[in-house]
Structure 1
């Protein structure tokens, strides 16, 4: 049974989305940009559905390296949609249903009023009778970034190479390098190539930023996207599909990260959120400006965003991880005289072995040799406050050194494990913040440093990559365990900010 196409328009004065529910019941995002433009009946419709899902036994209709053209995605039928408001945010929720598996996908688009940025995430729910073993679920699929071969000919891809002390090296190259034009003599006009970016391990920005873009060389229309993941796997691909430039963004996947998720009947899974910024003619700079406004609207409110205090950190070009009372006191006075409002003691304040701390960290107690005398480190913290500044400390909360007493006092289940063996990386173990013992340990550390010592600033570092993740639970893939830990980590950060609203956290 077929029905007439249904057109859904949603958005605000700076961004409008158009979704067409075709005669087959499949919902497709046909346009995203400024309000207005051609009527929907005068535009070609992209082939891609709102969501792409692969699962064991349910792969793709066009095999290759791309995660689009999934059978489940093509079967998802529009069931309902609703537009609401959440303060300054416009919200559109679209509910889709696969009659074969019983999978329900709820797509939620959000956009702050006056900002041309779309935030997207998907919740899938199993309303069927059998477990569905998920292998990939898209967070956002957009078909019409560029419409037609000529538009793709004139489009450039953007991405950012990102390495330690060599960050944010933005690159640009023609889209045709990875999505070549197929000559008319070729029977098939749907290739298998695409431009893809993938993040692995626990550092979401290692090698490349979880960002990318597509820009027209001539009119300057630009799309800029980011995958909002605090660590673990992510994947993005941009290519040509039926003469349209498409974008598909994911968190971890089976193909790229060994991620799988058994979705039991009645259970839900939520994807990693992503955002897509749009500039009609201002080029990449205007798109970056829009994304910056979106980030400011989306982040958790905090007083330091409004005050913008001046922060001095003793590490780079100063003490370089070798703080002592004698060295810090003159720096404190100089920073105060220069107008600093926060003074942060960086790495080394816990180092009682003069450089041997790497594989013994975890207790986060001050070094008696570095801070001698009856008051120890409190002499330094008090001096910071006396000079009108807020004291801060460096912390690397996720790690426990192999020589730390906590490596034996905490249970094995509190650490990353694979195949039942605790993971060790460069002399350290990595905490799994899903385990209550790991979280209790870190809560006690923060309660001591912030609640008892009066520290008002924590600089959080993260210096090891323990690989694919943790398979702590029976049948859990490391990629799934890593995603669970990532989300528990964010929950822990929310918890300490809830307890200490004045605390400033540098990530």
Structure 2
């Protein structure tokens, strides 16, 4: 790390970050790029703070769809910063504080040695005397994606990926100017109310869109690519124009998109969802994807399955599609074993009687007699899997309880998610367990103890279709 008057410069041989500290203590990210990279002129001042926080009673200075320009973000002042190492990771922590509310925010930046990727998360603490009600907290705000030349904004293209079941990864590209137009005329407006926003839906992190996005210069190939690392939870990113430069702000769940609010009691803290930003100076989106892929491999936690990579056969897609029976499964088991599979998974439908819809009957997780009619029932199939040298697996959707399942009547009302006093019904006629309730947890404990402890199932494929 090097420091000059009002400057924090941090990084390694593949990435350099520069933070400007104003005379009043404001901290702004003014550059992310290659070390020693020449920055074009004119160079705008970064318009946004390191952290943006929406708190009830403390709004924004400029209303619109965006979650930037927050009053607390503008009041945050630099308190301290430090540089550490965590193995191959370089770490920069910048602490900010808002004297009016007592809120402190630690922006924690991490980057693996030799990779042009920045990982960021924020920890906010309440050092004040009153509870603060959080409505959004940014994981990363960067207002320096383009320089001061308006032509850079004109040449910038947004990247995002539309996503659906069996129609994944449909990457799109459109000019940034379509959602962040230039405001000319006698009165020049440096910031609009509009910005490009993508947000996840509920607990499906990739429903409709991937939790990713990017910005690329169609002339030079200079590219930024980001991802929000929230598997199974709300996320949001926005990208637009502020004061002559392009910005991106990345969030986990928030009130505007997910109805998320978090009370922060005095002395309490909250940590945001981590995000990552990959940078490529001239290679275009492909090079940025390559850098992000290398980063993902670095962050993958060690596990023996990653080294062993067992072969798993699942009977659902392009096969039985939720219609398993003893007669259909036995030849599949023999074929999967001959092909070298090490696990054989019986997917959905094994609990639903033939001829009935198995969606609204989930919950008890008992095998359907009509599907496994022999004297040993489903155990004939499970034993054949083991005899063939494979580990037996079963499909579960643990939180789902079908409206026709006996469990829907045996559990108390408080064990289910409810809205306005009524159970929430979704996904082809299923209630949803509220795992905060002990009866819901006890039910699932008993199910897993039976399938694993008594039946000898060695693999559970867990789905979540609501």
The residue correspondences of 1:251-290 to structure 2 (distance < 5 A) are: 251-290=252-291
1:123–1:270 Cα contact (<8 Å) kept:
yes
- Could you tell me how far 1:40 is from its partner in structure 2? 12
1:32-71 deviation per Cα after TM superposition (whole angstroms, max 9, x unaligned): 1222224899954302111101122211112222111111
1:223–1:277 Cα contact (<8 Å) kept:
yes
- Could you tell me how far 1:406 is from its partner in structure 2? 2.2
Question: Partner residue of 1:173?
Answer: 174
Question: Partner residue of 2:71?
Answer: 71
* Rounded Cα–Cα distance in structure 2 between residues aligned with 1:33 and 1:418: 48
* Rounded Cα–Cα distance in structure 1 between residues aligned with 2:108 and 2:414: 35
- After superposition, the Cα gap between the structure-2 partners of 1:120 and 1:216, relative to the gap in structure 1 and judged at 3 Å, is same
1:314–1:344 Cα contact (<8 Å) kept:
yes
- Could you tell me how far 1:321 is from its partner in structure 2? 0.9
* Rounded Cα–Cα distance in structure 2 between residues aligned with 1:291 and 1:441: 41
Question: Partner residue of 2:103?
Answer: 103
1:5–1:20 Cα contact (<8 Å) kept:
no
Tell me which of 430, 433, 449 is aligned to 1:431: 433
1:261-316 deviation per Cα after TM superposition (whole angstroms, max 9, x unaligned): 22222222222222212222221122222222222332332222222232221112
The residue correspondences of 1:391-470 to structure 2 (distance < 5 A) are: 391-425=392-426, 426-464=428-466
Question: Partner residue of 2:138?
Answer: 138
Where does structure 1 lack aligned partners over 5 or more consecutive residues? 465-507
| Higher alpha-carbon deviation: 452-461 or 355-364 | 452-461
- After superposition, the Cα gap between the structure-2 partners of 1:239 and 1:42, relative to the gap in structure 1 and judged at 3 Å, is closer
* Rounded Cα–Cα distance in structure 2 between residues aligned with 1:448 and 1:16: 54
1:5–1:23 Cα contact (<8 Å) kept:
no
The alignment's C-alpha RMSD in Å is 2.2
- Could you tell me how far 1:405 is from its partner in structure 2? 2.6
Question: Partner residue of 1:389?
Answer: 390
1:323–1:345 Cα contact (<8 Å) kept:
yes
3-state SS, counterpart of residue 380 of structure 1 = helix
- Could you tell me how far 1:214 is from its partner in structure 2? 0.6
* Rounded Cα–Cα distance in structure 2 between residues aligned with 1:26 and 1:436: 47
For normalisation by structure 1, the TM-score amounts to: 0.85
- Could you tell me how far 1:373 is from its partner in structure 2? 2.8
1:231-273 deviation per Cα after TM superposition (whole angstroms, max 9, x unaligned): 3432210001111110011122222233222222222222222
* Rounded Cα–Cα distance in structure 2 between residues aligned with 1:376 and 1:412: 33
- Could you tell me how far 1:74 is from its partner in structure 2? 0.7
3-state SS, counterpart of residue 144 of structure 1 = coil
Question: Partner residue of 1:354?
Answer: 355
3-state SS, counterpart of residue 83 of structure 1 = strand
Question: Partner residue of 2:232?
Answer: 231
- After superposition, the Cα gap between the structure-2 partners of 1:420 and 1:6, relative to the gap in structure 1 and judged at 3 Å, is farther
Question: Partner residue of 2:50?
Answer: 50
* Rounded Cα–Cα distance in structure 1 between residues aligned with 2:289 and 2:265: 40
* Rounded Cα–Cα distance in structure 1 between residues aligned with 2:443 and 2:14: 46
* Rounded Cα–Cα distance in structure 2 between residues aligned with 1:458 and 1:222: 40
* Rounded Cα–Cα distance in structure 2 between residues aligned with 1:335 and 1:387: 9
3-state SS, counterpart of residue 349 of structure 2 = coil
3-state SS, counterpart of residue 334 of structure 2 = helix
1:187-229 deviation per Cα after TM superposition (whole angstroms, max 9, x unaligned): 3222222111122233222221111111111221211111222
Question: Partner residue of 2:118?
Answer: 118
* Rounded Cα–Cα distance in structure 2 between residues aligned with 1:115 and 1:58: 38
2:363–2:400 Cα contact (<8 Å) kept:
yes
Question: Partner residue of 2:365?
Answer: 364
Question: Partner residue of 1:207?
Answer: 208
Question: Partner residue of 2:219?
Answer: 218
- After superposition, the Cα gap between the structure-2 partners of 1:112 and 1:446, relative to the gap in structure 1 and judged at 3 Å, is farther
1:156–1:173 Cα contact (<8 Å) kept:
yes
Question: Partner residue of 2:33?
Answer: 33
Question: Partner residue of 1:24?
Answer: 24
* Rounded Cα–Cα distance in structure 1 between residues aligned with 2:29 and 2:381: 58
1:159–1:209 Cα contact (<8 Å) kept:
yes
